[in-house]
Amino acid sequence: MSTLIVIDQPPYGTWAGREALDMAFSLAAFDQPVALLFTGAGVNWLRKLQETSEVEQKSVEKNLSAAPIFGVEAMYADAAACVRYRLTLEDMVAGVVMSESSSDLLNQYKHTAFAG
Amino acid sequence: MAAIQLQNYTLVITGAPYSSQAPQTALSFARSAIAAGHTLDRVFLYGDGVHLASAFSAPPSDETSWPAEWAIFLKDNDIPGVACVASALRRGLVNESEQKRYELPASNLLEPFVIAGLGEWVEGTMASSRVIYFHAGG
């Protein structure tokens, strides 16, 4: 059973994205195939060099860099959303794959879960 | 008439009562599903949804108590209700063992809800034919 966890909200404003990430790590811990799709404002999760001391939160970059180690199979960024937020692969953390068609991607997974 | 294909659902509630409609919508769905002959494998509370399992919720008497309504529904239908432990601890929802572990002044987990890890959600996704998410929206 393959699962795509979709994060469509920017980091730091709510806890939903962090908790969605925990869902992905949990599936991976149980050896269930899982990937992440960042879309809409959610692509801002992927920015390099996030400075979060002013908001007193841990940077999500560290969590994301742990994703492949925990067994998350892929991290996709919606290409149209990246254009909207002026993000290229160079601006993003390592290991991100551009998704030109998120609808095709959704079709490849049996199960989809959105961050609340 | 075509036979209805019966489903075994896992419901995931991530919206809190009194700040979102998610618990009510999920309860309406759950009641309709049972009435139509479907089964519920479990109900998993995640994120802000864990507030639904608080025994300390005390709405005015002319408003529905969604924690109480959900507790009655789960007991009547013998359906497990599970609150995610990480979400619960962050938001001040604890059972007696967590109260002792963190030396907190009280526990507030409403029966029959239990506290467990995300593994319960993973199991739900594997054991059930459909998983439905009830988010706060907005």
Measure Cα distances from B9 to A31, B92, B131, B132 in Å. Answer: 22, 28, 6, 7
A19/B contact by beta carbon, under 8 A: yes
Are A26 and B119 a contacting pair at CB < 8 A?
Answer: yes
Active site residue B84: yes
Picking from B48, B49, B118, the nearest residue to A23 by CB comes out as B118
Q: Are A115 and A7 spatial neighbours (Cβ–Cβ below 8 Å)? A: yes
The model's pTM: 0.93
Class of domain A3-114: alpha beta
CA–CA min distance B28, chain A (Å):
19
Q: Is the pLDDT of residue A102 over 90?
A: no
Range 53-112 of B in CB contact (< 8 A) with A? 86-87, 90
pLDDT band at A86; cut points 50, 70, 90: very high
What are the pLDDT digits (tens) for B51-107? 999 999 999 999 999 999 999 999 999 999 999 999 999 999 999 999 999 999 999
Domain locations in chain A as residue ranges? 3-114
Task: Work out the mean pLDDT of chain B and round it to a whole number.
Answer: 96
Q: Is the pLDDT of residue A105 over 70?
A: yes
Q: Is the pLDDT of residue A100 over 80?
A: yes
**Among the CATH numbers 3.90.700.10, 3.30.70.2750, 3.40.1260.10, 3.30.70.370, which is that of B8-56+65-134?**
3.40.1260.10
DSSP A41-105: GGGGGGBSS---GGGT---HHHHHHHHHHHT--EEEEEHHHHHHTT--GGGB-TTEEEES-HHHH
pLDDT band at B4; cut points 50, 70, 90: confident
Measure Cα distances from A7 to A19, A23, A82 in Å. Answer: 10, 11, 14
The predicted complex's ipTM stands at 0.89
Q: Are B48 and B6 spatial neighbours (Cβ–Cβ below 8 Å)? A: no
Are A26 and B46 a contacting pair at CB < 8 A?
Answer: no
A15/B contact by beta carbon, under 8 A: yes
